[in-house]
Chain A
Amino acid sequence: MRDFLRAYPAEAKLLAVLVLLVAGLSVASPEFLTLVNITSLVNNNAVNLIWAVGLLVVLIAGGIDISFAVAASVVQYLAVTALLGMGGGGWAVGIALAMAFGIGLGLVNAALIHGFRIISIVVTISTFNAFFGLLMFFTSGKSIYSLPDWLSRPIYLWELQTEIGWADIRLPVAVMAVCLLATWFLIRRTTTGRQLYAFGDNPEGARRAGINIWLMQAIAFGWCGMMAGIAGLMQAHITKEVVPNALIGRELDVLAAVVLGGARLGGGRGSVLGCVLGVALVAVAQNGLNLLGVSPYAFKMVVGIIILAAISASNIDLAAMLAPKRRDRE
């Protein structure tokens, strides 16, 4: 327990807040702690979490990616068009295509960042505009409604009838679990993952130690692109359609959740657990407010306040407040 607190201070704080929130909501709303509600929460946030762990890897490596949600739209469109072109395909081909296209778009970012020494926020804002503009231009903003059969058919991995309805876990949750595990494995268990942390933490030190910088950028943005692609395909699977401008705008919400989970803008810090907690906090808060009968318009506002409060809290050092006042920043 102490080790956990020491290794993951931000995550521990967030977990405490989440536990309190869940406890409060369980008391306030009888529907909250039901299987139906919990499973639907998980189903509804699978895509966000896949994006979140992709973005996490980029943040750990000291970059930022604004373009991933738009990249997911591009991948959706490309993958589905290709699948329709080849007469349908199947899950294996679909996932492989989504991953490949996603990695491709991620590598575009990485190549621009590394090749021309442009910082990632400038590059990804450019590619954000370029990806989206080109997608809308070439598709004329038209949606695809006739997806291959296998893609639009929901797949239930587990279901249970309860008194208030069906509780189920669907395919995207399993995919999400795999993505989470893979990301955890990459960043915690492999030497490459530790190099990513080191690179984000101290790029100059990493360079001097002999870490291949181009490889780091390629892995970080390639991974983020791959996750974006997978998430895009899952989104198409869930909504049974491909709408080119459906995902734009989601990038900032995901970014907020990931940073809430302890990842640091600037690199070197962040964990998969934190991502899960960050996404969960936002999702549970929204869900809870919804169950409590708060207007859906109002709870978005409350989510903003919660995020603001959380980042403020994580910046206030309680220990420093108890010590004699020091106006170091004054």
Chain B
Amino acid sequence: MTDEPRAIRFSNMSKVFGGVKALQDVAFDVGQGEVHCLAGENGCGKSTLIKIITGVYQPEAGAGMELFGERLAAITPNVARQKGIAVIWQDLALFPEMTVAENIAFETMLGNRPRLVDYGALRARAEAALARLEVSLDLDARLGTLPIAARQVVAIARALVSDARLIFMDEPTASLTQAETDALLAVVRTLSARGVAVVFVSHRLAEVLEISSRVTVLRDGRLVGVYPTEGMTQARLTELMTGKTFDSHVMARDTSADPVVLEVEGLSRRGEFSDVSFVLRRGEVLGLTGLIGAGRTELAHVLFGMAAPERGTVRLEGREVRFASNREAVAAGVAYVSEDRLALGLIQPQSISDNAVLSVLRRITGASGLMSPRRQEDLVAHWVRELAVKIGRPGDAVSTLSGGNQQRVVLAKWLATEPKVLILDCPTVGVDVGARAGIFRIVRELAAQGLAILLISDEVSEVHVNADRVLHMAGGRIAGEYDPRRTSLADLEAAVYA
């Protein structure tokens, strides 16, 4: 076994971008057939590392590069591909308008010299790749019509077609349901058993620890260390990634005496959720957890007026409300922070200032009907101060901010509407572990000021720590209610992941 060359053995990797050291003397090695995890916060150098190994970037002089036992002076994308290195990017880089077969066997259609497409051979190769994964899919379906999980499988099959011996997977489970994640992990085990090494890059620490045998941790472009996953805990890993220790004691309080703000009764929408009832009180953080596909986001959309319920009632401060649009919901005092910050939460290319005031344009409009730049400035300055958003200038594009600061801008946008109910849908998606605590500190402060908060999250530990009560949603129904002070995290996780 020791004679077998390592799949990857890189040493002394450094990379400087315009004076900034993105990577400093990092070593990375992965054995053949090993499932390895690459962990670290955003900006720690993970993607730079992947890009060096796949030949997209060249490292600074002095790096030692070895792929499957062969020392290489330089790596180009082509060399990496020939050596069997494949990357499955988070966005998958697939072609939604093409068929499953074409996507899987896309490799066969590459090359500058035109050749005839042999659709028969193409299908055969695609079929063989799927067979290796022990999965079956309709080869003629247009990829765009498939669910994300199936596309993920297509991306892996594509890597297999090109005889990959080491596959990088960048956040592969970010948008998968638990069942889909389990299926994906099974595929990864199959690959590993066949001698294909897999390097996981993931934010979801639980599954990382479950599947991989070793974890390499990076922080600020430096190697923190390489650790066996056996005996590693999530808390320890978080500490290694951030360099800080986190206090994670349960914050729940008894809120049962506080006045009810939002009352939902028997709410149903065909194919999405049914018979959902709960109350949300003033100053309360109500956690809503469950697997992806449990109907959480759909429920939030109805409460926010983006979709109409078929049955059931919603009462806001005792009055029944039926929103015809989300504008009415906003006017009534409901705010919704979307799970998809990139596409729905913020308008990425526009300025921080414009994003922050988008929900309250009327408020910065003077008697003349014209918007007042002064009022806009004041409003933005107020919220930047209030939420401690780290920005350059208010005129900078919001896309220049980190995930955590972007989320604060989203919060500012909604808090400016002076809501009574704030719905947070997975507010820490794409936010660094270190910055999450800051977001939750704000959430707790808002609750203390009397805001009623519905906190939706698929990370059970998040709601366990931060919510006063926790609702568990499964299959479109409320499956249970828990008090974090009386239920341990392990029990809650067992209930949700059952």
A and B from one complex: yes
Give Cα A190 to B115, complex, Å: 5
Is A117 at the interface (CB under 8 A from chain B)? no
Contact B78 A205 (CB under 8 A): no
**A29 an interface residue at 8 Å Cβ cutoff?**
no
Q: Determine if B2 is an interface residue (Cβ-Cβ < 8 Å).
A: no
**Please, what's the 1-or-0 string for B251-287, where 1 marks a CB less than 8 Å from any CB in chain A?**
0000000000000000001110000000000000000
Interface residue B120 (Cβ < 8 Å from any Cβ of A) = no
Partner of A327, one of B91, B96, B102, B325: B325
Closest to A210 in B: B110
Q: Which of A197, A215, A326 contacts B97 (CB 8 A)?
A: A197
Closest B residue to A326 using CB positions: B307
Asked whether A330 and B326 contact (CB < 8 A) given A209-B106, A325-B308, the answer is: yes
Which residues of B lie under 8 Å from residue A330 when comparing CB positions? Answer: 306, 325-326
Write out the residue numbers on chain B whose beta carbons fall within 8 Å of the beta carbon of A39.
Answer: none
B370 neighbours in A (Cβ, 8 Å): none
Nearest-Cβ distance from residue B366 to partner chain A, whole angstroms: 28
Query: Does residue A202 face the partner (Cβ distance < 8 Å to B)?
Result: yes
Contact with B along A118-138 (1 / 0, CB 8 A): 000000000000000000000
Q: Verify B110–A195 contact, CB threshold 8 A.
A: yes
Consensus secondary structure, chain B interface: loop
Q: Which residue of B lies closest to A202 (CB)?
A: B95
Task: Report whether A190 and B95 are in contact in the complex, using a CB–CB cutoff of 8 Å.
Answer: no
Q: Is A139 an interface residue (CB 8 A)?
A: no
Contacts of A198 in B (CB 8 A): 95, 98, 106, 109
- The answer to whether B378 has its CB under 8 Å from any CB of chain A is no
Q: How far is the CA of A193 from the CA of B106 in the complex (A)?
A: 12
In the bound complex, do residue B307 and residue A194 qualify as a contact, i.e. CB atoms below 8 Å apart? no
**B109-A327 in contact (CB<8A):** no
Complex formed: what's the CA distance from A209 to B310 in Å?
Answer: 46
- Partner among A3, A192, A201, A215 whose Cβ is within 8 Å of the Cβ of B140: A3
Q: Is the interface on chain B under 10, 10 to 19, 20 to 34, or 35 or more residues?
A: 35 or more
Question: Are the CB atoms of A189 and B117 closer together than 8 Å?
Answer: yes
Shortest Cβ gap from B151 to chain A (Å): 12
Nearest to B143 among chain A residues (CB) is A201
Q: Is the CB of B306 within 8 A of A197?
A: no
Q: Are B109 and A195 in contact (CB under 8 A)?
A: yes
Known: A198-B98, A324-B269. Is A204-B93 also a contact (CB below 8 A)? yes
Contact B306 A202, beta carbon cutoff 8 Å? no
Flag whether B114 is at the interface (Cβ < 8 A).
yes
| A210 engages B95 (CB within 8 Å) | no
A205 and B95 form a contact (CB under 8 A): yes
Verify B97–A191 contact, CB threshold 8 A. no
Residue of B nearest to A185 (CB): B116
Distance in angstroms from A274 CB to nearest chain B CB is 13
Is B408's beta carbon under 8 Å from chain A? no
Tell me the bound Cα distance from A189 to B120 in angstroms. Answer: 12
Residue of A nearest to B99 (CB): A7
Residues of chain B within 8 A of A209, CB atoms compared: 93, 106-107, 110
Is A268 close to B, CB under 8 A?
yes
CB atoms of A327 and B306 under 8 A apart: yes
| B96 to A, closest residue via Cβ | A201
Q: Is residue A83 contacting chain B, with contact meaning CB distance below 8 A?
A: no
Whole-angstrom distance between the Cβ of A57 and the nearest chain B Cβ: 14
Asked if B392 lies at the interface with its beta carbon under 8 angstroms from chain A, I say no
Indicate if B81 sits at the interface (CB-CB under 8 A): yes
Cβ proximity bits B74-111 to A, threshold 8 Å, 1 near / 0 not? 00011001000000010111111110001000111111
Contact of A191 among B114, B140, B142 (CB under 8 A): B114
Find chain B residues with CB under 8 A from A268 CB: 95-98
A residues contacting the other copy or chain, number (CB 8 A): 32
Most chain B CB within 10 A, of A194, A197, A206, A330, is at A194
Most buried by A among B114, B140, B306: B114
- A200 and chain B: residue at smallest CB distance: B97
Q: Which residues of A contact B108 (CB under 8 A)?
A: 191
Q: Are B308 and A327 in contact (CB under 8 A)?
A: yes
The reply on B112 being an interface residue by CB < 8 A is yes
Q: Determine whether the beta carbon of A208 is less than 8 Å from that of B93.
A: yes
Given known pairs A210-B77, A210-B110, A327-B308, the reply for A190 and B117 (CB within 8 Å) is yes
Contact B81 A202 (CB under 8 A): no
Closest to B77 in A: A210
Distance (Å) between the CB of A314 and the closest chain B CB? Answer: 16
> With contacts A191-B115, A209-B106 known, is A201 near B81, CB below 8 A?
no
The complex places the Cα of A208 from the Cα of B55 at a distance, in Å, of 11
Chain A residues, CB < 8 A from B325: 327, 330
Q: Which of A176-233 contact B (CB under 8 A)?
A: 188-195, 197-198, 201-202, 204-206, 208-212, 215
Report Cα–Cα, A205/B96, bound state, in Å: 11
A201 interface neighbour in B89, B91, B97, Cβ under 8 Å? B97
Residues of A close to B78: CB separation below 8 A: 210
Task: Kindly provide the distance from the CB of A34 to the nearest chain B CB, expressed in whole angstroms.
Answer: 40
Given the complex, which residues of B lie within 8 Å of A188, measured CB to CB?
117
Q: Are A191 and B95 in contact (CB under 8 A)?
A: no
Check if B93 sits within 8 Å of A205, measured CB to CB: yes
The answer to whether B270 and A324 have CB atoms under 8 Å apart is yes
* Contact call B93/A327, Cβ cutoff below 8 A: no
Q: Chain B residues near A210 (CB, 8 Å)?
A: 77-78, 81, 110
What is the distance, in angstroms, from B32's C-beta to the closest C-beta of chain A?
Answer: 25
What is the minimal beta-carbon distance from B275 to any residue of chain A, in angstroms? 16
- Whether the pair B109, A205 counts as a contact (CB closer than 8 A) is no
Question: Is the Cβ of B116 less than 8 Å from the Cβ of A190?
Answer: yes
| List of B residues within 8 angstroms of A197 by Cβ | 95, 97-98
Does A328 touch B at the CB level, under 8 Å?
yes
* Cα–Cα distance between A3 and B94 once the two chains are bound (Å): 22
Question: What is the interface of chain A, defined by CB distance below 8 A to chain B?
Answer: 3, 6-7, 188-195, 197-198, 201-202, 204-206, 208-212, 215, 268-269, 324-328, 330
Closest 3 CB pairs of A and B: A205-B93, A268-B97, A192-B114
24 contacts between A and B (CB under 8 A): A6-B142, A189-B116, A190-B115, A190-B117, A191-B109, A191-B111, A194-B98, A198-B95, A201-B97, A202-B94, A205-B95, A208-B89, A208-B93, A212-B112, A268-B96, A268-B97, A268-B98, A324-B271, A324-B308, A326-B307, A327-B306, A327-B307, A330-B306, A330-B325
Please report B residues at the A interface, Cβ cutoff 8 Å. Answer: 77-78, 81, 89, 91-98, 102, 106-112, 114-117, 140, 142, 269-271, 306-308, 310, 325-326
